[in-house]
Structure 1
Amino acid sequence: RYFSAFSDRRVVLEAFRASVGSDVSEFAARIPQRTLLIAADKDDITPVEAQYRLRALFPDARLYVIPNVGHLIHYEVPAEAAEQLRRFLDEAASA
């Protein structure tokens, strides 16, 4: 349903190659800004254990794990993900 919104097949292929060609762990140590990672405990592509390892690579990161959700958090529970992001940004604004 969502992937049909790509403009053409070339764009889908580019997105796929980008998604499997590298990941944020290659760059995490060089990201000094506070970072929020949102993960799902039913993710069959990136297990929660890998998310905890990723968090440790950042100088300053927080990990929020959403229960009973799969890989596509932004489609499955967008309101909950947005709420966590709002809280994270509010904390930064009040600091």
Structure 2
Amino acid sequence: MVDRGGTLPALIVRVDLDGGTVQVRSLSAETPPDRSLELWFVGANAAPRSLGLVTDPAARLPVPAALRASAEGATLAVSVEPKGGSPTGAPTGPVVYSGKLLRE
């Protein structure tokens, strides 16, 4: 994922659809003080679904089976949220990183 300026990658996101997990490694992502970064799965013509907070680079977040089935053409996005994540279940802050889900 790159920032809105499109320069260097801010995050590397690895998605294991067979295992149902996603791992996020920060390269240059910055979390504002008293805020959290939240990872979102955005399927084609679907509302964003939270995959969890971008915190520990070794952590693996679960990808629900329903989302794995619609992974083709999906986008992953990271938004700035209040500490602990979105209070509404939808992104409330600006999207600071995004990228298309690509198969290797």
Higher relative contact order (CA 8 A, sep 6+): 2
Give 1 or 2: higher helix fraction.
Answer: 1
Q: TM-score if structure 2 supplies the norm length?
A: 0.23
Q: Which of these two proteins has the greater Rg computed from alpha carbons?
A: 1
